Amino acid sequence: MALIEARNLRKTYGALRAVHDVSFAVERGEVVAFLGPNGAGKTTTMKLLSGYLRADAGAASIAGHDVAAAPIEAKRHLGYSPEGAPAYGEMTVREFLRFAADLRGLAEPAERVRATLELCRLTDVAAQNIDTLSKGYRMRVGFAQAVIHDPAALILDEPTDGLDPNQKHEVRRILKEMASRKAVIVSTHLLEEVGELCTRVIVIAKGELRCDEPRDRFLARGPDLNQVFRALTA
Amino acid sequence: MSTPAEATPSARPAGRAAFVAIVRREFAGYFRTPLAYVFLAVFNAFAMSLAFFVGNLYEAGVANLDRFFLYHPWLWAFLAPAAGARLWAEERRQGTLELLLTWPVTVWQAALGKFLAAWLFLACALLVTLPIAFTVGYLGSPDWGVIASGYVGSLLCAGACLGLAALASAVTRSQVIAFVTGFLACFLLVLLGYGVFDGLLVGALPDETVDAVRRLGLWRNLEPFTLGIFDVPAAVYFLSLAFAGLGLSTLVVDRR
């Protein structure tokens, strides 16, 4: 069973066709790089998969649960970090993660929070208000709330955006650690992440799927990935 | 994180856990900044000032609080939108609405949790005014049932204003716009059947119409409670406004 599945997803905003007939399935152990230029429909597709947006047509499912028909079940199995990793800035990191744990009804929430703080290297700033954190830490907090319940499916919208090389390395390390047990989709503008992190590549442009193939086949398209990207998304 | 991915363990039914977590977070959220204490102080100061200096509570020499509750629609019209402006507008501004609605919680649970937390906060503002009741009890022999009824009426009135404030907050990402819109909606309900505005209608409209307009106002519905009467239609009026505002705000937030 695919842990993340999109079947003929469509979404329009007025006259704009944001996502058109997008279908794919992500299995356990796969880390999918979701590539595309700005405005290609990546974020909209992720919002459709997360259940935040409703599709005009088609369906999305998480761990076999349709996000429209059984949203609560689907969301219980999903970890999702929206673009920019929004969080309640007036809360401390620990309070925020405790809220996420309580809201999900997790058993032993305090232990969950402790383990997640450790996993995401956030223990040192646990007592700090999220508003006062650097962007790197804020992104990690967004990531932490997405993994606190150890979900089967993980969808991360640009989780390394704006991070310095060390911070990027840190996020990728954590992702690699847990990748074998999950189905992961990571949207990114950074083509180097394809080689470093992902097992498969999906390219989307103008709301349409342009490419869906294993990483090695994608990398074999040419030595200059920027050129490959431009050709696919033209 | 040693738990297998499939497990996604849950200690309690997800819906109840989510609801309780939201009420707790929202309620605590009011006290994270000094604004909450300013709010409580302002409410108390205005409630007392209006009762003593405008309502002449002391000079009246009667051991009841009807002159205290008389001005509560004005207070709630201003302060319920102030407390309710953040409910959804702040979630939209911070981008956390997307986070909240992709957690295992329904929009209804989130909306009800937020609303109840805000209503509890307004109840705290009412609690802060209890010394005035004890003072009246010290100076005279009030009917405590009438005073309790006045507090219940005031709390219901606060809920009605909060419903409108929740709706105003759901349609914008600006807390200022949410506050002004919510205040104007509540202000209109205060005017219906009140003082000068009521005077304009009397004579210009048939008596039945003027009376119908009064029944739509906050003050007319609060009045029986201040006299010790638990007026069921008035309670239904307040709760209808509260839940209409809550329901419509939920529908607005749910349009995605």
Pick the residue of A3, A83, A103 with the most B CBs within 10 A to test the interface with B by mutation. Answer: A103
Residues A60-108: tens digit of each pLDDT: 999 999 999 999 999 999 999 999 999 999 999 999 999 999 999 999 9
Beta carbons of B102 and A51 less than 8 Å apart: yes
Tokens (6 digits) for B239: 């709760």
Q: What are phi and psi of A8, to 5 degrees?
A: 50, 45
Give me the pLDDT at residue B6, please: 44
Nearest to B8 among A51, A145, A149 (CB): A149
* A64 and A159 within one domain: yes
Pick the residue of A104, A116, A119, A182 with the most B CBs within 10 A to test the interface with B by mutation. Answer: A104
pTM of the complete model: 0.90
Domain-embedded: residue A116: yes
* A124 and A101 within one domain: yes
Contacts A108 to B, Cβ<8 Å: 11
Interface of B with A (CB under 8 A): 1, 3-18, 20-22, 24-25, 29, 32-33, 94-96, 98-99, 101-106, 256
* A160 and A60 within one domain: yes
For residue B155, the one-letter residue type is L
Which residue of chain B has the CA closest to A114?
B1
More reliable by pLDDT, A227 or A163:
A227
Distance CA A113, CA A115 (A): 6
Nearest alpha carbon to residue A58 among A15, A21, A88 = A21
Contacts B4 to A, Cβ<8 Å: 150, 181
Pick the residue of B98, B105, B175 with the most A CBs within 10 A to test the interface with A by mutation. Answer: B98
* A132 and A161 within one domain: no
* ipTM of predicted complex: 0.92
In which band, very low, low, confident or very high, does the pLDDT at B5 lie, cut at 50, 70 and 90?
very low
> Around B34, how many Cα atoms within 13 Å sit in the side-chain half-sphere?
0
Beta carbons of B21 and A28 less than 8 Å apart: no
Domain-embedded: residue A55: yes
A196 CA: distance to closest CA in chain B (Å): 23
- With a cut of 50, say whether residue A113 has pLDDT above it: yes
* A23 and A89 within one domain: no
Contacts A54 to B, Cβ<8 Å: 256
Q: What percent of chain A has pLDDT over 90?
A: 79
Residues B213-226: tens digit of each pLDDT: 888 999 899 999 99
Contacts A115 to B, Cβ<8 Å: 1
Beta carbons of B102 and A108 less than 8 Å apart: no
Contacts A143 to B, Cβ<8 Å: none
* A157 and A110 within one domain: no
- With a cut of 90, say whether residue A192 has pLDDT above it: no
How many distinct structural domains can be found in chain A?
Answer: 2
The DSSP secondary structure of B22-47, one letter per residue, reads: HHHHHHHHHTTSTHHHHHHHHHHHHH
- With a cut of 90, say whether residue B240 has pLDDT above it: yes
Beta carbons of B13 and A50 less than 8 Å apart: no
Which residue carries 């409410």 as its tokens?
Answer: B43
* A159 and A52 within one domain: yes
Structural domain span for residue A199: 1-77+153-165+182-234
| Sequence spans of domains, chain B | 14-254
Burial of A72 (0-12, 13-18, 19+ CB in 10 A): middle
Which residue of chain B has the CA closest to A71?
B104
More reliable by pLDDT, A56 or B12:
A56
